[in-house]
Amino acid sequence: MTTLLKRSILSRSYGDRFVAALFQGFAIASGAIVLLIILFLLRESYPILHRVGVLRFFRDPSWHPTSGEFGAMPMLWGSLLVTLGSVLIATPLGILSAIFCQYYAPPRLAPLYRRLIELLAGIPSVVYGLWGLVVLVPLVRRIQPPGTSLLTGIWVLALMILPTIMLVADASLANVPAAYLRGAAALGLSRWAIVRGVAIPTAQAGLMTGILLAIGRAIGETMAVLMVCGNVVQVPDSLFDPVRTLTANIALEMAYAMNEHRSALFVSGLILTGLIAILVTIGEWVNRGQMYD
């Protein structure tokens, strides 16, 4: 489809000009929100960054903002470990589910299973958190106290991000041209060989996008991890140790934080946004690759 230079369709009528100007205004307002967010994060974190500098946030041994220690590294580790664990679990399960739906499931089962996953995608994170707190935490505590731990966090998050990976993968597998599959089948390849050799490579960029989205969701998730992770600021030694993520840190302390402490929490927010910016860049890069292929 050719792109149209749509501005040129504009007539000189008053209505067209008004609508165009109005919508341009809306568009600029929408674009300004990101700038406003960054501006306010910077403005609010400026006092502490100005006084102690950025490096202290990565070098201080721990997080005691009221007594002047601002080490955010344990929480960065917390965020990364919880994310890594949940993505490692959810990715194979999600992609296998999508392959199941597209290529293996009996025709009546596939839409049912998809509907189930869609339903789960819609369950709010605080409900996952509630369930994790009431059901999983006591369960893990029986193995090793205190129960609120990295493991519980990974478990809950994996369930939460699985639908994202599954649904995106499902959609991109559905977009694989049927001709490719027919062609491969005509060569006498087995179903799994077709999936592995044709479908997955073709849908690769889509699968990657799904995983990236899931990573973004996992890093940004607050309530569920706040409720099940224990929130102790430490680099965990085992899966059963409690951890605190950057997001939980904000949610936990924001209500009580004053002055520099509050400012330090906005730095947490900045670090989080930085992580997301990195992810978005990777995502762009993946999509570019897809375009040039």
Partner 1 sequence: MIKQRPRSRRSSFGEPLMQGLLWSSVLLITGAFMWLCSDIVRHGFRQLSWDFLTQLPRDTGRSGGIGPILVSTGLIIGVCLGVSIPLGVGTAVFLNEFSAPQRWLSQFLGISLDILAGVPSIVFGLFGNAFFCKTLGLGFSILSGGLTLACMVLPILIRSTQAGLQSVPNDYRLSAAALGVSRSAVLWQVLLPAAMPGLVVGLLLGIGRAIAETAALLFTSGYVDRMPTSLMDSGRALSVHIYDLAVNVAGGEQNAYGTALVLVLLLMMINGSVSWLGKRFQQTRILDV
Partner 2 sequence: MTLISSSSTQKSGVAPAALHTEKLTMQYARKVAFRDVTLSVPAGQITALIGPSGCGKTSFLNCLNRLTELTPNTQTTGTVLLDGQNIQAMELIQLRRRVGMLFQKPNPFPLSIYRNLEFPLQEHGIGQRDRVAQIIEINLRRVGLWEEVKDRLKSPALALSGGQQQRLCLARTLALNPEVLLMDEPCSALDPISSEVVEALIDRLRGDYTVLVVTHNLAQARRIADRVALFWMEDTVGKLIESGSGQELFESPQHPLTQAYISGKRG
Partner 3 sequence: MKSSVSLTHALKVTIAIASLSFGLMACGNSGNSSNATPAATKKLVLTGSSTIAPLASELAKRYESQHADVRIDVQSGGSSRGIVDARQGSADIGMVSRSLKPDEKDLQSFTIAQDGVAIILNKTNGIADLSNEQIVGIYTKKITNWKEVGGKDAPITVVNKAEGRSTLELFASYFKLETKEIKADSVIGENEQAIKLVAGNPDAIAYVSIGTAEYEANQSAAIKLLPMRGIEASTANILNGQFPLSRPLNLVTKTTPMGLSKEFIDFAQSKANDDIVKAQYFVPFVR
- Binding residues vs partner 2 (CB under 8 A): 2-6, 8-9, 11-13
Q: Does 254 bind partner 1 (CB under 8 A)?
A: yes
**Is the separation of the CB atoms in 149 and 240 below 8 Å?**
yes
What does the block give as tokens for 1? 């489809």
Please, what is the minimum distance in Å from the beta carbon of residue 177 to partner 1?
A: 19
> How far apart are alpha carbons 254 and 235 in whole angstroms?
22
Stretch that binds partner 3, among 46-54, 202-210, 255-263, 282-290 (CB under 8 A): 255-263
Q: Which stretch binds partner 3 (CB under 8 A): 23-31, 47-55, 116-124, 207-215?
A: 23-31
Site string for partner 3, 256-275 (x = CB under 8 A): xxxx-x--------------
Least CB distance to partner 2 at residue 9 (A): 6
Distance CA 22, CA 260 (A): 41
Give the alpha-carbon dihedral of 246, 252, 254, 258, to 10 degrees. Answer: -110
Q: Give the one residue of 110, 171, 232, 279 binding partner 3; rule: CB under 8 A.
A: 232
The residue from 233, 239, 267, 272 that contacts partner 3 (CB under 8 A) is 233
**63 or 155: whose CB is closer to partner 3?**
63
Which CA distances in Å does 210 have to 6, 123, 164, 256? 32, 18, 6, 37
Per CB under 8 A, 127 contacts partner 1: yes
Integer Cα distance of 71 and 44 in angstroms: 18
E strand or H helix that includes residue 26: helix 14-52
User: Residue 217 interacts with partner 3 (CB under 8 A)?
Assistant: no
Beta strands in the chain (DSSP E): 63-64, 69-70
State the number of binding residues for partner 1 (CB under 8 A). Answer: 95
Of residues 23-82, which lie at the interface with partner 1 (CB under 8 A)? Answer: 23-31, 33-37, 40-41, 43-44
Q: Select from 98, 243, 106 the least CA-distant residue to 166.
A: 98
User: DSSP letter string over 50-64?
Assistant: HHH-SHHHHHSSSEE
CB 17, min distance to partner 2, A = 13
Strand partners, 64: 69
Residue of 49, 56, 57, 63 interacting with partner 3 (CB under 8 A) = 63
Angle (CA) 278-283-288 rounded to 5° is 125
The stretch near partner 3 (CB under 8 A) out of 91-99, 102-110, 137-145, 266-274 is 137-145
**By the rule CB under 8 A, 65 interacts with partner 3:** yes
* Local structure of 43: helix, strand or coil: helix
Candidates 259, 210, 2; CA nearest to 98 is 210
> Does 285 interact with partner 1 (rule: CB under 8 A)?
no
Site string for partner 1, 92-121 (x = CB under 8 A): xx--xx-xx---xx-------x--xx-xx-
**Cβ(221)–Cβ(160) below 8 Å:** yes
Q: Which member of 22, 29, 123, 174 binds partner 3 (CB under 8 A)?
A: 29
CA distance 139 to 181: 45
Which residues lie near partner 3 (CB under 8 A)? 24-25, 28-29, 31-32, 35-36, 62-67, 69, 138, 141, 145-148, 230-233, 242, 244, 252-253, 255-259, 261
